[in-house]
Structure 1
Amino acid sequence: MSAERVHRTTHEVSVDAPAGVVYGLIGDAVTWPLFLPPSIHVEQLEFDGRSERLRMWVRASGEITSWTSRRTLDPARRRIDFHHELPAAPARSLAGTWQVQALAADRSRLTLSHHYTLTGDDPRQAAWLEAAVDTNSRTQLDRIGRLARRWDRLDALVLAFEDSVRVNGPAELLYDFLYRIGDWPQQLPHVTRLTHTERTPGIQETTMDTRTADGTRHTAESVRICFPHAGRIVYQQSSTDPLIAAHTGEWSVVPDERGVTVTAHHQVLLHEEAIAAELGPHADLAAARRHVRRVLGGHSTTTLQRAKSYAQNAVTVL
């Protein structure tokens, strides 16, 4: 007979930021992939102003998993209760609470508590879940603490932009080009090497070497979540570019009656401490924003144009 036991954990951190700022960071879960790894992608499925239903993709103890989460938001009390519906044993569900307490005008305490029932007789599964909850909790709290300390600079450190092209070709072929990332070293001049795996259908893990126009080389690891029926591929990328602290994005293919629009969306968190070393002692945050916009935009525009040629040339051959 399988055993069941309730497990409870509590982690907390003091944060040098107003309580409202900290609550805002935990309240906007859709931004977590940029701000709070190990979250990879979060989609809001329902929201009525107080409660929401989310679909979350998360890296837990080195593995990528996904679940549905329901959250109840209470901004007046600065409290969020959540309930994760996990896909498999050793726990069918995991619940908990985020709580923010004001300690002073510019200082607060953030507490994250969990409770869940472990089921089954496999101690390895139970140990995996316990380790994942503990590691992820500590990672999230540490990240929130470091981000919140820059609350007055955070808007300037975030860069969001997109590039689009119009295509007279099938949406399916455009998506196929973006999905078949293993072919990119032969198709894109800035991609010099790429390896990828897809152990779970629709979830790709990649390592890609790129070269900028000035010859600088960077290596980036990405997790890509593919939604073929919606014509979307979302990703979270870790970059060795010193100016980039975090990078998320999306490729979207949107057909209409006159053709197809294919778009590259980017969200970047800049690493302010690296600006002087990378761009010179007189460079500022505005210069860093322009530089990152130019480099990432140049690569994505090249990819969009090659996808356009791929789709339109295939139609011509047919």
Structure 2
Amino acid sequence: MSVSTPRIAHRAAHRTTHRLSINAPADLVFSMLRDASHWPYLDGLTVYSERVRGDDTTHELRTSVVSNGSLSSSHCWRVFNAARHRAEFQQLNLEAPLQRLSGDWEIRQADGLTVVTLNHAFEVDDEHLAERINGIIEDYGRRELEALRVSCERLSLLLQHHAPQGQAAIQPETYPAEQPAPQFTAQSATGEA
């Protein structure tokens, strides 16, 4: 009598890290990350963003972005720690080959700048595709950080320029005001019926 044991597939965790310095206050950078309602206007990657449920501390976010040359939509769960300027995310409802995609944002002041670190971790069910997926995440991570840098630096300059003489700039918690996201759909963005 022969007994076979099921073969358990081992999935390796893959990790990426991106880091960028931004010439804007850490509070402003954190606010820009937390309030995704304005992303379609600012980052050049997002065409739709909506908080599905939750609050400023934890929430589910639905976005449609241009990634790897095509439009894709996703849901993620985000958890924020304002005191530590940290945000964690976990992608929901993934499709194969992705089995897990998560990460975190770390924001800290250093030498008069804000240093932003974006970490991703992912697992796939087909290791042959890991390098390709890693390349997509690498490209998108760099583009996302650069878009964040440009947006935050522009907003920081505007706030400094428009602050009344002798007063500090408007606090980032009150600006920009949360605005409803435009009501785009994947079909309207691509022109399909």
TM-score range, shorter chain: 0.7 to 0.9
Extract unaligned runs of 5+ from structure 2.
1-6, 163-175, 180-184
Alpha-carbon separation, structure 2, partners of 1:14 and 1:43: 27
Following TM superposition, by how much is the alpha carbon of 1:223 offset from its aligned partner in structure 2, in angstroms? 4.1
The 1-side partners of 2:79 and 2:192 are apart by: 26
Instruction: Give the corresponding residue for 1:266.
Output: none
Q: Does 1:95 align with 2:102?
A: yes
Indicate the residue corresponding to 1:234 in structure 2: none
Match of 2:186 in 1: 203
Closer/same/farther in 2, CA of residues 27 and 138 from structure 1, 3 Å limit: same
Which of the pair is proportionally richer in strand? 1
Q: Does 1:145 align with 2:149?
A: yes
Change (3 A) 1:225 1:102: farther
How many pairs does the alignment contain?
165
Shift of 1:86: 4.4
| Shift of residue 16, structure 1, vs aligned partner | 1.0
TM-score by length of 2: 0.74
Structure 1 counterpart of 2:116:
110
Q: Which amino acid aligns with 2:132?
A: W
Query: Which of the numbers 5, 23, 28 marks the counterpart of 2:12?
Result: 5
Counterpart of 1:4 in 2: which secondary structure? Answer: coil
Q: Is the 8 A contact 1:61 1:131 kept in 2?
A: no
Q: Residues 19-53 of structure 1: CA distance to partner in whole angstroms, max 9, x if unpaired?
A: 11111111112222222232221110111341001
Q: Which amino acid aligns with 1:152?
A: L
Q: Is the 8 A contact 2:49 2:63 kept in 1?
A: yes
User: 2:84 aligns to what SS in structure 1?
Assistant: coil
Q: 1:58 aligns with which of 65, 72, 96?
A: 65
Q: Which residue of 2 aligns with 1:18?
A: 25
**How far apart in 2 are the matches of 1:58 and 1:128?**
18
Does the 8 A contact of 2:100 with 2:124 survive in 1? Answer: no
Q: 1:225 to 1:145 in 2, by over 3 A?
A: farther
Distance 1:64 1:223 in 2: 8
Paired letter, 2:134 = E
Q: Which has the larger radius of gyration?
A: 1
Counterpart residue number, 1:80: 87
* Shift of residue 69, structure 1, vs aligned partner: 0.4
Q: Deviations over 1:270-311 (max 9, x none)?
A: xxxxxxxxxxxxxxxxxxxxxxxxxxxxxxxxxxxxxxxxxx
Alignment of 1:1-318 (within 5 A): 4-104=11-111, 106-120=112-126, 123=128, 125-150=129-154, 151-153=156-158, 203-204=186-187, 222-223=189-190
The CA distance in 1 between the partners of 2:40 and 2:12, in whole Å, is 32
Match of 1:193 in 2: none
Deviation (angstroms), 1:65: 1.6
Q: Determine the C-alpha separation between the residues in 1 that align with 2:47 and 2:80.
A: 22
Q: Distance in 1 between matches of 2:113 and 2:192?
A: 37
